[in-house]
Amino acid sequence: MAKYKIESDKDICIGCGACVSMCPENWEMEEDGKAKALHEEIDEIKCNEDAKDSCPVDCITIKKIENTE
Ligand code: SF4
């Protein structure tokens, strides 16, 4: 099964909240007004792809880090 690493670049994030709207199960806004993935390593991308696509400054990356198939 593949594993994925989800990251956002806080230097670029403008705190719009789109990722949280699209994927509240894995994104939250922090006290600094920037978004953070609750789980940075996941087995299934699920709505994180929607979060990535919704980001207006393209600061979310999803990388495949493991494939044990
Ligand atoms: S969608 Fe992008 S810019 Fe907006 S809060 Fe999420 S990571 Fe930040």
Q: What is the pLDDT of residues 21-66, one digit of tens each?
A: 999 999 999 999 999 999 999 999 999 999 999 999 999 999 999 7
- Using alpha carbons, select from 52, 55, 33, 34 the residue that is nearest to residue 42: 52
Cβ–ligand 1 distance for 60 under 6 Å, the answer yes
Instruction: Measure 46 CA to ligand 1 centroid, in angstroms.
Output: 17
**Mean pLDDT calculated for residue range 11-22:** 98
Instruction: Measure 31 CA to ligand 1 centroid, in angstroms.
Output: 14
Alpha carbon distance 57, 1 (integer Å): 30
Owning domain of residue 13: 2-67
CATH code of the domain covering residue 20: 3.30.70.20
Q: Which residues contact 60 (CB under 8 A, 6 or more apart)?
A: 6, 7, 8, 19, 48, 51, 52
Residue minimizing CA distance to atom 8 of ligand 1 = 13
Q: How many domains does the chain have?
A: 1
